[in-house]
Amino acid sequence: MVRDGEVDVGLVAYPQYRPGMKFEIFEEDELVVVCHPKHPLAARKTLMLSDLNGQRFIAFDPDIPTRKVIDRRLRRHRVELQYTVEFDNVEMVKRAVEINSGLSLVPRNTVQSEVKSGTLIAIPLAGERFARPLGAIFKPGRARSLVHKALLAALRNGELPSSQARAA
């Protein structure tokens, strides 16, 4: 839509260079393990990726960039999972975890309200940092509206909560 001029700016995970487009990374979104409060791993303070080996897992659809990165990282650590279901959005992943269908890896900022309400447990990964870049994509040289400029400035300066940026 940005390329076709239908919108001024797009917000994406794992922005990539495309001819005639420009992007700016504004945040790194940490991925965490989420599980039901009664899951056997729920009491852990941190987990290693190897702790997920053999677990029932709720995944993003295979063509989603976050899933591709998760799969590469799991392969590198030789972690094998029992995939129970795949979804194209984080809201469905969270709902499946809430009914104890398995655990998942999701961006920390997307589960803040569920963790606060106690319906999900978020457990950080120990060892190496696991985060996804979030960026804004736009056409260079195109006149930017005041709203576009203000949005990019707010994202750059961390003035928008991540949940608001994702909804924008």
Q: Which CATH number fits domain 1-168: 3.40.190.290, 3.10.290.10, 3.40.50.12500, 1.10.1040.50?
A: 3.40.190.290
Q: What is the pLDDT of residue 168?
A: 35
* H helix intervals, the chain: 65-76, 90-98, 112-117, 146-156, 162-167
- Contact 73/59 with Cβ under 8 angstroms? no
Buried b (16+ CB within 10 A) or exposed e, 50-68: ebbeebbbbbbeeebebbe
Which pTM value belongs to this model?
Answer: 0.79
Task: Indicate whether 160 pLDDT > 80.
Answer: no
Summarised one tens digit per residue, pLDDT across range 60-99 is 999 999 999 999 999 999 999 999 999 999 999 999 999 9
- Contact 41/33 with Cβ under 8 angstroms? yes
Give the mean pLDDT of 116-140. Answer: 90
Summarised one tens digit per residue, pLDDT across range 34-55 is 999 999 999 999 999 999 999 9
Domain borders along the chain are 1-168
